[in-house]
């Protein structure tokens, strides 16, 4: 291959990776960007605390419940096609949320956005495997993918705080619409279509059972906080969720093309990485939701002040994530994963001690930075473990 041809190939690959990362950034950003505007939304639309939870969790619920479906549809009908359709749906949901006159419309818009994200995000990882068939270059591209996902989660409260304090909470969703439209145009030009329909089929029983299990448990957790966990229908939803999880496992074991390959969990490292992923993401979202809401309602922080508070966490996550990738490559995932979890736990304990009605930006900056270092290490490490396991699965 001539040097000119090699330059063009690398340029086209770089442009395609940039487009994928833009869509990834868009979908992950919306997990946390709304958290700093919750108090404004509450006063503007007279939303209860459970309603605020649905504003945040409605997006995550649709995203998590339908993400595997989006991946399968991309394999069957074309990843680029499904991804771009998802971005269009996301943008439509952003407009609905931005002009929402009531809580129910806002939550509906968030659900539509989550649906779009579920269709868009899986293709970002699958297309990387086709854009970079060489393992070494693919590993570097996957490192960029992991870094962008962490960056989006970390920058969500910072960007959201600036937007909400400037033009009001609807500007957060108009930002999502504008960024989504820009990403759509770039991706439409730079990406090529790919699919792997051979041997694939939509595991409808598994997809429906898994989505219903997630939905039942989510309704039970949010409803239980308001109605009490001893309420009969709350307990019934928890039982239903447990039954559906068992049914999901049975269905997946019998399926020829399962949604989740359960044999992966026979690998202790892979299973540990998923436990770390669950605990870390739960902690990250809890910090963004409850800390931001407390600072707005109790400590009377403005959006810009909250953005400053979370800047230390965002910077720490980014720097630690970059260092963790090299650290994990050199010594393996075990030690970084343990260190990351320990630092994240320590940071959260310190945040709890510092979070008072009279707290200040400086009082919260350093414990959030400690938590951010832990989150950055843990997220990158568990992502590297998952990607490594999948790389071995797809090796010829």
pLDDT in tens, 120-139: 998 888 888 788 877 767 76
The whole-number pLDDT of residue 310 equals 87
Task: Indicate the pLDDT class of residue 156, thresholds 50, 70 and 90.
Answer: confident
Rg (CA), the chain: 21
Report pLDDT for 105: 95
pLDDT at position 390 over 70: no
Q: CATH number of the domain at 60, please.
A: 1.20.1250.20
Same domain, 4 and 28: yes
Q: Does the pLDDT of residue 84 top 80, yes or no? A: yes
Asked if residue 141 and residue 97 are part of one domain, the reply reads: yes
Question: Is 212 a domain residue?
Answer: yes
**389/366: higher pLDDT:** 366
| pLDDT tens digits for range 267-316 | 787 787 788 888 888 888 788 778 888 888 888 888 888 888 888 888 88
Same domain, 275 and 340: yes
Quickly state the pLDDT bin for 346 (edges 50, 70, 90): very high
Q: What does the alpha-carbon distance between residue 162 and residue 247 come to, in Å, rounded to a whole number?
A: 45
Residue 248 included in any domain:
yes
- Tell me the backbone φ, ψ of residue 256, rounded to 5 degrees: -75, -25
Task: Report yes or no on 116 lying in a domain.
Answer: yes
Q: Average pLDDT in the 167-182 region? A: 94
Mean pLDDT of 206-228: 86
Contact 205, 253 (CB under 8 A): no
Is there a single domain that holds both residue 142 and residue 62? yes
What is the rounded average pLDDT of the residues 357-381? 90
Average pLDDT over residues 143-149: 78
Number of domains forming the structure of the chain: 3
Write the burial class of residue 286 (CB in 10 Å: 0-12 exposed, 13-18 middle, 19+ buried): exposed
- Whether residue 108 is found in the same domain as residue 22: yes
Pair of tokens at residue 277: 């992923």
CA 151 – CA 73 distance, rounded (Å): 27
Looking at the domain assignment, is residue 100 inside a domain? yes
Same domain for 344 and 363, yes or no, is yes
Task: Looking at the structure, tell me whether residues 159 and 307 fall in a common domain.
Answer: no
Query: Structure pTM?
Result: 0.83
Would you say residue 186 has pLDDT above 80? yes
Asked if residue 226 is part of any domain, the answer here is yes
Judgement on whether residues 228 and 82 belong to the same structural domain of the protein: no
Do 138 and 231 belong to one domain?
no
Give the residue numbers spanning the domain of 323. 263-391
Query: Is residue 396 domain-resident?
Result: no
pLDDT (0 to 100) of residue 107:
94
Residues 6, 138, single domain; the answer is: yes
158 and 248 fall within a common domain: no
Residues 360 and 284 in one domain: yes
Fill in the DSSP letter of residue 299. S
pLDDT at 392: 52
């Amino acid at each position: 291959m001539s040097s000119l041809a090699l330059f063009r190939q690398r340029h086209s690959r770089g442009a395609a990776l940039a487009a994928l990362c833009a869509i990834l950034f868009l979908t992950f950003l919306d997990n946390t960007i709304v958290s700093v505007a919750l108090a404004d939304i509450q006063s503007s639309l007279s939303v209860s605390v459970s309603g605020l939870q649905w504003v945040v969790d409605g997006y995550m619920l649709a995203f998590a419940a339908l993400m595997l479906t989006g991946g399968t549809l991309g394999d069957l009908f074309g990843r680029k096609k499904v991804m771009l359709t998802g971005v269009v749906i996301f943008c439509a949901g952003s407009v609905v949320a931005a002009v929402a006159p009531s809580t129910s419309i806002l939550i509906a818009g968030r659900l539509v956005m989550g649906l779009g994200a579920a269709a868009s995000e899986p293709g970002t990882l699958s297309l990387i495997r086709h854009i970079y068939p060489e393992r070494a270059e693919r590993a570097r591209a996957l490192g960029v993918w992991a870094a962008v996902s962490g960056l989006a989660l970390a920058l969500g409260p910072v960007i959201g705080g600036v937007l909400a304090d400037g033009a009001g909470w609807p500007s957060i969703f108009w930002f999502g619409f504008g960024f989504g439209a820009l990403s759509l145009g770039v991706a439409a030009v730079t990406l090529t279509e790919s699919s792997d329909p051979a041997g694939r089929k939509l595991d409808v029983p598994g997809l429906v059972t898994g989505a219903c299990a997630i939905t039942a448990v989510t309704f039970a957790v949010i409803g239980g906080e308001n109605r009490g966990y001893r309420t009969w229908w709350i307990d019934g939803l928890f039982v239903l969720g447990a039954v559906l999880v068992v049914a999901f496992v049975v269905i997946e074991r019998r399926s020829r093309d399962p949604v989740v390959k359960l044999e992966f969990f026979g690998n202790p490292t892979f299973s540990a990485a998923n436990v770390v992923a669950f605990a870390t993401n739960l902690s990250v979202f809890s910090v963004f939701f409850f800390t931001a809401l407390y600072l707005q309602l109790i400590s009377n922080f403005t959006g810009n002040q909250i953005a400053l508070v979370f800047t230390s966490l965002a910077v720490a996550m980014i720097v630690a994530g970059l260092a963790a990738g090299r650290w994990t490559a050199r010594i393996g995932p075990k030690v970084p994963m343990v260190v990351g979890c320990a630092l994240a736990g320590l940071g959260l304990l310190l945040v709890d001690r510092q979070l008072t009605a009279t707290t200040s930006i400086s009082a919260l900056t350093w414990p959030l930075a400690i938590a951010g270092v832990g989150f950055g290490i843990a997220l990158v490490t568990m992502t590297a473990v998952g990607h490594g396991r999948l790389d071995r699965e797809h090796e010829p």
